[in-house]
């Protein structure tokens, strides 16, 4: 079956359930060619994507055009991480980030900053003095403040929301023993939010992490954000990365986490959505970027193409998730995919280098996959009004 036929067949089969209940607004065909996911979900939430120079410098014209057609919010896949934007103590390199922000402004997009305080993609010097000795608490706080004020300040009023702290939690919900934590102590998180708020009082501030659909870590995020709110820190939303597998976590677990976060009075961003179909290379379920595993043919089963059966499973999984997102649309501000097409995904290189991964809605030729149609269907389904 060709992709086109598969998509049509899948759309028809998925429609059996949805379209029999459809109202007159649920027209399946007739979507104008220039409309994208941003239009499909306009009344629910923003739809976004993480981009790299390939897109924001328009080095790949077709790929950049797809971003403009489909998405109304962007995240920087790498260019605002510390190691890129502030590689040496006295040197910031804003050239790539400036181009990222300019692309978003040219296209009227909601521009996200990612990320200010994280334990990965941060140079070792950040935590050391000129002699290579660990910094004192005060010195590291001063360095953090300088970084946040410089970076957030540069894009004040233009970058609308920041992932202030990324991945501060262990899987059991306790605070991760990062260098930030060891040197400053647990209040490094509150301090980072305070510095960001001072630098741009109008910017939305987020706490972002992976595996937040697992109960212990979800509860840790609830405790952490509650304590920030209790201190008067304006956390706008929790970002749930949503680096998911085909069957885990369950859609019900995703639903529970959204509701737990919304109950705190904050919004929820689905910030880095992708669905990894490939065989697990490690026992770890998360998105720890430092994980590495060796290549092996059994870990890369679909180098020549994804079987139709898997394409259908991916479509159904995406559809289940988008049903949960739509049911919680009042709590969700945006759903952002981590990469444009399958060829762009970080999952081709992590945690095993050189694999052929299929985690997104667009294939390597930038065509819409069955999962794209499946997701679009959800917007047309009648909503159950609570």
Q: Provide, rounded to whole angstroms, the least separation between the CB of residue 208 and ligand XIL.
A: 6
Q: What is the DSSP string of 102-170?
A: HHHHHTT-EEEEEEEE-SSS--GGGGB-TTSPBPPHHHHHHHHHHHHHHHHHHTTTTS-EEEEEE--B-
**3-state secondary structure at position 349:** coil
Q: Provide, rounded to whole angstroms, the least separation between the CB of residue 371 and ligand XIL.
A: 20
Q: What is the DSSP string of 180-220?
A: HHHHH-TTHHHHHHHHHHHH-TTSEEEEEES-TTSHHHHHH
Q: Provide, rounded to whole angstroms, the least separation between the CB of residue 299 and ligand XIL.
A: 19
* Contacts (CB under 6 A) with ligand XIL, residues 113-132: none
CB nearer ligand XIL, residue 99 or residue 380: 99
Contact yes or no for 372/31 (Cβ under 8 A): no
CB nearer ligand XIL, residue 200 or residue 272: 272
**47: contact with ligand XIL by CB under 6 A:** no
CB nearer ligand XIL, residue 272 or residue 333: 272
Burial class (CB in 10 A: 0-12, 13-18, 19+), 377: buried
CB nearer ligand XIL, residue 73 or residue 166: 166
Contact yes or no for 167/120 (Cβ under 8 A): yes
**346: contact with ligand XIL by CB under 6 A:** yes
**211: contact with ligand XIL by CB under 6 A:** no
CB nearer ligand XIL, residue 167 or residue 377: 167
Given 70, 77, 242, 272, the catalytic residue? 272
CB nearer ligand XIL, residue 115 or residue 319: 115
Which position's Cβ is nearest ligand XIL? 346
Active site residue 57: no
Q: What is the DSSP string of 248-273?
A: -S-HHHHHHHHHHHHTTT-EEEEEEE
Interacting residue with ligand XIL among 63, 72, 73, 166 (CB under 6 A): 166
* Contacts (CB under 6 A) with ligand XIL, residues 142-161: none
Residue among 233, 246, 178, 188 at smallest CA distance from 206? 233
Interacting residue with ligand XIL among 70, 77, 342, 363 (CB under 6 A): 77
Cα angle 329, 331, 332; round to 5:
65
* Contacts (CB under 6 A) with ligand XIL, residues 238-277: 241, 272
Active site residue 171: no
**289: contact with ligand XIL by CB under 6 A:** yes
Contact yes or no for 206/234 (Cβ under 8 A): no
Given 167, 204, 373, 381, the catalytic residue? 167
Provide the annotated active-site residues: 167, 272
Q: Which residues in this chain contact ligand XIL in the complex, by CB under 6 A?
A: 77-78, 166, 241, 272, 287, 289, 346
């Amino acid at each position: 079956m060709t992709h086109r036929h598969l998509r049509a067949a899948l759309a028809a089969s998925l429609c059996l359930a949805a379209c029999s209940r459809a109202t007159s607004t649920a027209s399946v065909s007739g979507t104008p060619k220039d409309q994208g996911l941003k239009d499909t979900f306009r009344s629910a939430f923003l739809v976004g994507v993480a981009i790299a120079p390939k897109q924001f410098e328009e080095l790949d014209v077709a790929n950049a055009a797809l971003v403009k057609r489909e998405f109304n919010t962007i995240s920087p896949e790498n260019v605002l991480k510390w190691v890129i934007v502030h590689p040496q103590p006295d040197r910031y390199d804003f050239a790539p980030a400036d181009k990222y922000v300019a692309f978003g402004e040219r296209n009227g997009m909601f521009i996200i900053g990612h990320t200010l305080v994280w334990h990965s993609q941060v140079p070792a010097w950040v935590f050391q003095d000129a002699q290579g000795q660990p910094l004192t608490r005060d010195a590291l706080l001063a360095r953090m403040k300088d970084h946040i004020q410089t970076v957030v300040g540069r894009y004040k009023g233009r970058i609308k929301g920041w992932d202030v702290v990324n991945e501060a939690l262990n899987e059991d919900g306790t605070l991760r023993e990062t260098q930030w934590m060891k040197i400053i102590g647990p209040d490094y998180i509150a301090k980072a939010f305070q510095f960001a708020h001072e630098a741009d009082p109008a910017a939305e501030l987020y706490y972002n992490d992976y595996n937040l659909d697992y109960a212990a870590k979800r509860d840790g995020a609830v405790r952490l954000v509650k304590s920030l709110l209790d201190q008067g820190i304006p956390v706008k939303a929790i970002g749930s990365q949503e680096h998911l597998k085909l069957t885990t976590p369950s859609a019900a677990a995703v639903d529970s986490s959204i509701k737990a976060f919304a109950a705190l009075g904050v919004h929820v961003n689905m910030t880095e959505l992708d669905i990894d179909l490939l065989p697990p290379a490690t026992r770890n379920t998360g998105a720890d970027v430092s994980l590495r595993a060796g290549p092996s043919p059994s870990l890369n089963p679909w180098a020549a193409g994804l079987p139709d059966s898997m394409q259908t499973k991916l479509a159904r999984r995406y559809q289940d998730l988008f049903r949960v997102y739509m049911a919680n649309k009042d709590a969700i501000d945006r759903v952002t995919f981590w990469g444009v097409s399958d060829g762009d995904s970080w999952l081709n290189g992590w945690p095993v280098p050189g694999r052929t991964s299929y985690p997104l809605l667009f294939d390597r030729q930038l065509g819409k996959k069955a999962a794209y149609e499946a997701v679009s269907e959800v917007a047309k389904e009648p909503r159950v009004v609570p």
